[in-house]
Amino acid sequence: MPITRDEVAHLARLSRIALSDAELDHLAPQLDQIITAVAQVQEVAAEGIPPTSHATGLTNVFRDDEPTPCLTPAEALDQAPAVEQQRFKVPRILGEV
Amino acid sequence: MELTRMTAAELSAALASREVSAIEVTQAHLDRIAAVDDRVHAFLHVAADSALEQARDIDARRHHGENLSPLAGVPVAVKDVFATKGLPTTCGSRILEGWHPPYDATIVQRLKQSGAIILGKTNMDEFAMGSSTENSAYGTSRNPWDLDKIPGGSSGGSSAAVAAYEAPLAIGTDTGGSIRQPAAVCGIVGTKPTYGGSSRYGVVAFASSLDTPGPFGRTVLDAALLHEAMSGHDPMDSTSIDAPVPPVVAAAREADVSGMRIGVVAELGGEGYQPGVLARFAESVELLESLGAKVTEVSCPHFRYALPAYYLIAPSECSSNLARFDAMRYGLRVGDDGTRDAEEVMALTREQGFGAEVKRRIILGTYALSSGYYDAYYGKAQQVRTLIIRDFDAAFGQVDVLVSPATPTTAFRIGERADDPMAMYLADLATIPSDLAGNAAISVPCGLADEDGLPVGLQVMAPAMADDRLYRVAAAAEAAFTRRWGHPLLAEAKGL
C-alpha cells in the first residue's frame, strides 16, 4: 500500500482541509487506488528526457509598466467575507488573541 | 422555422436581414429554457433581464444601420467557470456560492463586444473536475438523448443546453477532455482550440498549463463562428499566443478533405472501447477515405501513459491553484466566531466548501509535489509529457491530422461511476493526449452506437495553431454523414 490513512490525514492538514474521520476512511483507499494507477508513469524509460511543464515553449512575456485603470477599493472589497476600515478583515493569524 | 431549432449561422443571416429581431431570438431561447430546463438542469443561472437588455441594444444598433459582427443577436450559454461581471460565478462549488466577480473574463468581454447575447451560466463539475457534472455542488445535468444518462463533463451544462435547443452556442473549457467528451456524448460539436489560442484571463484556474476555453455548437460551422469570435491574442494572459486566429470559418465552409493525409492512432481504440463506438469510428474512417483523404495508421506508443501522467500533472497544478480559496478575500468563510485563528477558519471553510473530487485531487497533487515523491511522480509525469509531444511531432511529420474515437464509451448512467474515481477518469482516455501536448482537437457526431442508440463522437487532432484543419475534416464528415442520414444526428434525440 503506497499511501496510508495517516499519510492522507497529514496531506489534508498540509492542504488546509479539515477532513472528518468518515471522509478519511472513504478517501484514503480511493487515493491509494489512484496512486497505484498513476505510478505507471514510472515504467517509462525516460532517462535524459527533459521535462515539459508547459507546451507552448513560451518563456517570459514582458510589457511596459504603464498605469491602467483597475478596480476601485469598493469593487475590490465588495465580495469580501468581512471588511473593516477599507481593508479585508481576517481572523487572527498569531497564536494569542 | 422555430427559432430555437435554427443554427447560429441561420440565426445570424435572419438577424442581419431583419427577418427576426434579437429580442425575438432571445425570448424564444428563454422560453425554451423555461419549458425544459427543470428536466435538463443545464443552467445554474439564467440571465433573462441582462440578455433581453443586450438584445434590445443590438436591435437598436441594427436599426440605426450599424455594421454588426456575425454573432450579433445570437444567444450563447456560458460555463460557470468564466467570470461574468454582475452575474454569479460559482464554478459548480459551494466555496463560490453567491460570488459576483468584479470583472468579465476576456472571452466574455469579446462575446459581448461581438453582440452575442449571454443567456446565462451553465452547470459543471466542481472546478471543472469530472466527466459527468455529478461533481457539481448544485445537482447533475441530464443528457437530452436520455435523461437518466450523464451529459458529459466537466462542461456538461453547456453541452446539454446546446443539445436541448436551449442555446445555439455555448462556451466551455477543456483541461483533459471537458469540451470534447460532453460534445461527443450529447451528439454535438465541441472544440479544444490550441492551448494559448483562447484567453484564460477570468477563467477560474484548474490546471493552468492545460486549461483551454473553446466552443460548442450543433454544427461544425457554428462552432467555427464562435471559435473565431472568442479567440485571439490577449495581453492579460501571459500564455496567450500572439498570432492570428487560424482561418476556422473558411475551413468549415470549404469542408474539403481531398488529398489530406489522415492518421488513425493505433493506441486510441481496441481494449476499453465500446464495440458500438469502434464500429462508428471505423465507418467514419471509411467515409473520409471515400471523400478523397489518404488514410494510414500511425503509432503513438506513449499515449498509453497519457492518462496516468495527466492525473499527476492536473492534480498537482490544481493543488496549487486552489490554494487561493482561503476564506480571506472572497467566497465562503466558515467558523469565524472569534475563537478560531485564520488557519482553522481556512481548513473548516475548505472542508465545507469543496466536494469529494476536489479534495481527492488537492490531496493527490499535494502528495505528488511533496519532497521525496516529486521526482517519482510529478517529475516523471513531466517527462512523459515530453514523450507524448514527441509522438505527436513524429505523427504530424507523416500526416496532416490524426483521428480517433472521442470517448471510449457513450453516455453512461447517472450514478454508475459517481464514487469510482478511476472508472470516471477513463472517460478522458482519448482526449487527454491533445491537452498534454497543447495542440488542437474537435469532436464531431459520427452516428449512434448499436447497443444503446446513443451518440458517438469522432475526434480529429491537428498540430498547434492548425485549428483550421479540424474544421475542414469535421465539416466534410458532417456533410457526408448528414447526406447519408437524411437529417442532422440530433434530430434523433428522444429524451425530451
Q: Which of B239, B153, B167 is nearest to B203 (CA)?
A: B239
CA dihedral (B444, B172, B273, B267) positive or negative: positive
Give me the residues paired with residue B457 across strands.
B445
Q: Do A88 and B328 lie within an 8 Å CB cutoff?
A: yes
Question: What whole-number distance in Å separates Cα of residue A4 and Cα of residue A28?
Answer: 7
Q: Which of B439, B444, B445 is nearest to B467 (CA)?
A: B439
Contact B41, B140 (CB under 8 A): yes
Assess whether B149 carries a catalytic annotation: no
**Interface probe with B: pick from A38, A43, A56, A90, most Cβ of B within 10 Å:** A38
Contact B480, B291 (CB under 8 A): yes
Q: Residue type at A37?
A: A
pLDDT at B39: 98
User: Does residue B81 come out as left (phi exceeding 0), alpha (psi in the -120 to 50 range) or beta?
Assistant: alpha
Structure confidence by residue, pLDDT tens digits, A6-56: 999 999 999 999 999 999 999 999 999 999 999 999 999 889 999 999 998
pLDDT at A1: 54
Question: What whole-number distance in Å separates Cα of residue A23 and Cα of residue B313?
Answer: 24
Assess whether B178 carries a catalytic annotation: yes
The CATH number of domain B3-302+386-492, selected from 3.90.1300.10, 3.30.1540.20, 3.40.50.2300, 3.30.2290.10: 3.90.1300.10
Residue A95 has pLDDT above 80, yes or no: no
Residues in chain A with CB shorter than 8 Å from the CB of B356 are 23, 26-27
Q: Do B196 and A34 lie within an 8 Å CB cutoff?
A: no
**Whether pTM exceeds 0.80:** yes
Q: Do B312 and A12 lie within an 8 Å CB cutoff?
A: no
Torsions phi, psi for B2 (to 5 deg): -60, 125
Q: Which of B251, B234, B270, B284 is nearest to B408 (CA)?
A: B270
Question: What whole-number distance in Å separates Cα of residue A1 and Cα of residue B429?
Answer: 25
Question: What whole-number distance in Å separates Cα of residue B74 and Cα of residue B70?
Answer: 8
Tell me the pLDDT band of A97, cut-offs 50, 70 and 90.
Answer: low
Collapsed DSSP state (helix, strand, coil) of residue A10: helix
CA dihedral (B31, B37, B39, B40) positive or negative: positive
**Interface probe with A: pick from B199, B302, B334, B364, most Cβ of A within 10 Å:** B364
In this structure, the strands spanning B169-174 and B75-79 are parallel
Tell me the pLDDT band of A2, cut-offs 50, 70 and 90.
Answer: confident
Provide the residue count of chain A.
97
pLDDT at A58: 83
Contacts with B371 (C-beta within 8 Å, 6 or more apart), sequence order:
none
Return the domain boundaries, chain B.
3-302+386-492
Q: Do A53 and B103 lie within an 8 Å CB cutoff?
A: no
Give me the residues paired with residue B189 across strands.
B217
Contact B316, B385 (CB under 8 A): no
Q: Which candidate from B323, B333, B364 shows the least CB-CB separation from A31?
A: B364
DSSP category for residue B54: H
Question: What whole-number distance in Å separates Cα of residue A38 and Cα of residue B307?
Answer: 8
Q: Judge whether A22 is closer than 8 Å to chain B, CB to CB.
A: no
- Per the residue annotation, which of B93, B141, B154, B155 is the catalytic one? B154
pLDDT at B426: 94
Question: What whole-number distance in Å separates Cα of residue B182 and Cα of residue B151?
Answer: 6
Tell me the pLDDT band of A94, cut-offs 50, 70 and 90.
Answer: confident
- Per the residue annotation, which of B114, B136, B155, B178 is the catalytic one? B178
pLDDT at A56: 87
**Interface probe with B: pick from A1, A8, A15, most Cβ of B within 10 Å:** A15
Question: What whole-number distance in Å separates Cα of residue B90 and Cα of residue B138?
Answer: 10
Q: Which candidate from B302, B343, B360 shows the least CB-CB separation from A30?
A: B360
Contact B493, B187 (CB under 8 A): yes
pLDDT at A96: 61
Cβ burial B205-237 (10 Å sphere, 16+ → b, else e): bbbbbbbbbbbbbbbbbbbbbbbbbbbbebeeb
Q: Do B383 and A38 lie within an 8 Å CB cutoff?
A: no
Place of cell 486510441: B268
Q: List all residues of chain A from 37 to 96 with a beta carbon under 8 Å from chain B.
A: 37-44, 46, 49-56, 58, 61, 63, 71, 75-76, 78-82, 88, 90-95
Collapsed DSSP state (helix, strand, coil) of residue B43: strand
Per-residue pLDDT of chain B in tens (496 residues, 90 and over written 9): 799 999 999 999 999 999 999 999 999 999 999 999 999 999 999 999 999 999 999 999 999 999 999 999 999 999 999 999 999 999 999 999 999 999 999 999 999 999 999 999 999 999 999 999 999 999 999 999 999 999 999 999 999 999 999 999 999 999 999 999 999 999 999 999 999 999 999 999 999 999 999 999 999 999 999 999 999 999 999 999 999 999 999 999 999 999 999 999 999 998 999 999 999 999 999 999 999 999 999 999 999 999 999 999 999 999 999 999 999 999 999 999 999 999 999 999 999 999 999 999 999 999 999 988 999 999 999 999 999 999 999 999 999 999 999 999 999 999 999 889 999 999 999 999 999 999 999 999 999 999 999 999 999 999 999 999 999 999 999 999 999 999 999 999 998 8
Across B123-266, where does the E strand assignment appear?
A: 169-174, 189-192, 212-217, 261-265
Cis status, amide bond into B154, omega within 30 of 0: yes
- What one-character-per-residue DSSP string does B287-353 give? HHHHTT-EEEEE--GGGGGHHHHHHHHHHHHHHHHGGG--SSSSS-----SSSS-HHHHHHHHHHHH
Question: What whole-number distance in Å separates Cα of residue B152 and Cα of residue B155?
Answer: 7
Assess whether B12 carries a catalytic annotation: no
